[in-house]
């Protein structure tokens, strides 16, 4: 990278997002470490980056809140170099195994507000800053989808799976919409990754239960997803747009 630019990573206080933030800093990006409820975790990621000589700030925002997303981008404008990449990683999950008949509109909408609307609003803010037509220097967006978009997650969380299918279609459409504006838009679709998301979804032992049934007989690590995201964000992927890369160990 010639001039340092900023990557904003949503949901970067832990899990895959934290791995992306740390890996991005090692590759020379200044990093906006977004979090919602855990400032201590986000600050720990920021400290780790700064201790290694990198540049990072923690950025609070609930991705379900448009005004908060806009304020987060404005805070990044003030504190960090120009934006070069957005990683749309934050996601809501179901609090436990649910069937469609357990769901009401409020629960469905709360999840869609973060996973779909929030991702689109964040992408809009990124496009406004990066589009060459508006005087920006171009850049890229990487959306974090899920293999659930393919298998549908029956008896688990079909609304979450459907939200990730929306992310896939959004990736494809936006990639075409902004291709001539110097912005590439891609997605990764992780399979089973060993993070706290499973505990959040009320299935703390999911990794040990499911991993033996996977082709590689193990879950993925956050850094293995981060490496795919960071490649898509890099100049090495300069002719890749609209791609959806499965990172699921063959699942």
- Annotated catalytic sites, by residue? 160
Considering only residues 193, 203, 237, 251, which one is a binding residue for ligand NAP as defined by CB under 6 A?
A: 193
Distant-in-sequence, close-in-space partners of 104: CB < 8 Å, separation ≥ 6: none
Q: Which two tokens stand for residue 68?
A: 């908060």
Among 22, 85, 144, 228, binds ligand NAP (CB under 6 A): 144
User: Should residue 37 be labelled a site residue for ligand NAP when binding is judged by CB under 6 A?
Assistant: yes
By CB under 6 A, name the one of 29, 35, 73, 170 that touches ligand NAP: 35
Site for ligand NAP in 211-250 (CB under 6 A): none
- Should residue 66 be labelled a site residue for ligand NAP when binding is judged by CB under 6 A? no
Helix, strand, or coil (residue 203)? coil
Q: If binding is defined by CB under 6 A, does position 90 make contact with ligand NAP? A: yes
13 binds ligand NAP (CB under 6 A): yes
Residues 180 and 184: their CA atoms lie apart, in Å, by 9
Backbone torsions φ then ψ of 243, nearest 5 degrees: -90, 145
- C-beta of residue 9 within 8 angstroms of C-beta of residue 21: yes
- Here the tokens at position 156 are 């688990």
Distance (Å, rounded) from C-alpha 247 to C-alpha 51? 30
Interface with ligand NAP, residue 11, by CB under 6 A: yes
Q: Which residues bind ligand NAP (CB under 6 A)?
A: 10-17, 34-38, 62-64, 89-92, 114, 144, 146, 190, 192-193, 195-197, 200
């Amino acid at each position: 990278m010639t001039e340092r630019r900023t990557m904003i990573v949503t949901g970067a206080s832990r899990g895959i997002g934290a791995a992306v933030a740390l890996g991005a800093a090692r590759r020379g990006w200044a990093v906006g470490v977004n979090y919602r409820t855990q400032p201590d975790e986000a600050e720990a990621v920021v400290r780790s980056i700064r201790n290694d000589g990198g540049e990072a700030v923690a950025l609070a925002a609930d991705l379900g809140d448009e005004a908060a997303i806009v304020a987060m981008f404005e805070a990044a404008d003030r504190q960090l170099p120009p934006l070069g990449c957005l990683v749309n990683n934050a996601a809501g999950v179901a609090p436990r195994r649910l069937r469609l008949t357990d769901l009401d509109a409020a629960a469905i909408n709360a999840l869609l507000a973060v996973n779909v609307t929030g991702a689109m609003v964040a992408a809009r803010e990124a496009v406004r800053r990066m589009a060459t037509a508006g005087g920006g220097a171009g850049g890229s967006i990487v959306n974090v989808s899920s293999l659930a978009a393919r298998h549908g997650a029956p008896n688990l969380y079909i609304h979450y799976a459907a939200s990730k299918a929306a992310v896939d279609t959004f990736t494809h459409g936006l990639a075409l919409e902004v291709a001539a504006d110097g912005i590439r838009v891609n997605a990764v679709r992780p399979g089973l990754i060993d993070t706290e998301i499973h505990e959040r979804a009320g299935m703390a032992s999911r990794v040990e239960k499911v991993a033996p049934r996977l082709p590689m007989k193990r879950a993925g690590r956050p850094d293995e997803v981060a490496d795919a995201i960071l490649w898509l964000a890099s100049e090495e992927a300069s002719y890749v747009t609209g791609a959806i890369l499965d990172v699921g160990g063959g699942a």
